[in-house]
Each structure stands twice: as C-alpha cells, then as structure tokens.
Amino acid sequence: MSDTVIVITGASGGIGAAAAEELSRRGASVVLVARRPDALNEVVKRCGPRAYGIVADVTSRAAVRGVVAQAIERFGHVDVWINNVGQGITKPPSQLTDDDVDEIMRVNVKTALYGMQEILPHFKERNAGQVINVASMLARMPAVVIRAAYSASKHFLNALTANFRMEVQATHPGIQFSLVSPGVVRTDFGNNALHGGPDSRTFADSQSAEEVAVVIADLVESRRPDVYTRAGAHDRIVKYYEDIGADP
C-alpha cells in the first residue's frame, strides 16, 4: 500500500480511527476527516508522518468538496474513499418524528452520498478508485426495534452503494464500490446515539474496532464488493429470515 492514498471520514475515534491506524501500518497515506480537532490530531499523531488531518463536517456537501480538493492537493491523487460517518438512534418506529428521520438520513446517508458524488469525477479521470461504505448488519436483518431508523438508513446506504456500482462500472470498470457490514462494535456508538442508548461495550456478542479495521484494510487490498466483519454473519442473516417465516 505504499503508493495508496486513503481518505477516511469519521476518523477521530472508533472504527475510523482504528482503520486509519491499521492502514497506516500497512504503508498507506491516510487523510483523516472529522469535526473534533483535538481528537483528530491525536489519531493523526498515532498514524505517523504520512497522515494528514482535515477538520470538516461532512454533512455539508461544500465541506466534502473541500476535503477532496485538499486531499488531492496534498498527495496528488486519492485511491480509496471510506465513508465511515454514522450515528445511531434509540427509538421504536411508532415514536419516530420527522426530525428523527431527517437527522439520521442526513448523517448516515447524505454524508456517504456527498462523498461518492464528490470523489467520483477524480476517480473517473483515472478510471481507478474505490469507495468503501461502512454499513451494518442491521441493514440486512432489522432485528432491534429501537434501531429502526438506523437500520433503515443503512439499508438505504446498501441500495445506494449497489446502484452506484452498477451505474459507474458500466462506463468505468476500474472503479469499485464496496460495503462492509459490522455487527455490534465496542465503541462510543451506543453512548452517542440520538436519545441515548445502551453502551455498545456492554454486549457480549461484540467485536473491537481493531478487528473491524483489519477487515476494512483487507477490503482495500481485495476490492471485494461486499463483506461482513464476523465469521458466520451470512448464516445469521439466513436464520433471521427463516425465523420470521420469510425467504432470505
């Protein structure tokens, strides 16, 4: 990965920070994007001299466009763009408000949409590049009632990613769009959910951000279209649909 330049949004903590550290260990140059300058700078330091931090709020299309320009100015090109920004929400579907839905779509879908659209012209110029969107197992099996809107937003992201792939590869086959679907990860995700929520670190069936980061780094090398972060994930999804009496 010595010549690979990778942009990671939501990189000041959790999966984004762990992915930045793993990818930098493998030799990549990493552009780390987040809103919190102090936390971001700490991750940049841990990643070493080939890391570059950009303080930006990627819920703004203009900010995302600025990240693209700064990354290219700094390194000359971008090879991989990882859309990692996301937020949970703790509320059953019968109680969701307009504001709840608008906010979760703004954070979980529009940030990724902006990233894909704004980096695409650069990728098309080179007929090369990869977008990695961090989705969720809950997009495949919406089995947690209080995560209804989160599950829906990640399902939207899955469909958006697949259709970007179909559209773009029809004319630019060198560009890949990949999905990675973690389950419960021991990060601040639960604590930071809208309306509060259970701490993700308290769940027994969880994995570390570092484990997810290894899967993401491997995905940069394999360029597969769709991966899970845990062994047996596909079987769990099939069982979910069997249990509710539906076809998987």
Q: What was the pLDDT predicted at 204?
A: 83
> For residue 207, which of 239, 240, 242, 180 has the smallest C-alpha distance?
180
How would DSSP label each residue in the chain? Answer: -TT-EEEEESTTSHHHHHHHHHHHHTT-EEEEEES-HHHHHHHHHHH-TTEEEEE--TTSHHHHHHHHHHHHHHHS--SEEEE-----B---GGG--HHHHHHHHIIIIIHHHHHHHHHHHHHHHHT-EEEEEE--GGGT----GGGHHHHHHHHHHHHHHHHHHHHHHTT-TTEEEEEEE--SBSSSTTTTSBT----GGG-SS-B-HHHHHHHHHHHHHH--SEEESSTTHHHHHHHHHHHTT---
What kind of fold does domain 5-243 have according to CATH? Rossmann fold (3.40.50)
Q: How much of the chain exceeds pLDDT 70, in percent?
A: 100
Average pLDDT over residues 18-37: 97
Q: Whole-prediction pTM value?
A: 0.95
pLDDT at 52 over 90: yes
With 70 as the cut, is the pLDDT of residue 6 above it?
Answer: yes
Question: Would you list the domain boundaries of the chain?
Answer: 5-243
Active-site residue among 150, 228, 240, 241?
Answer: 150
Q: Band of the pLDDT at 178, cuts 50, 70, 90? A: very high
User: Does residue 150 carry a catalytic annotation?
Assistant: yes
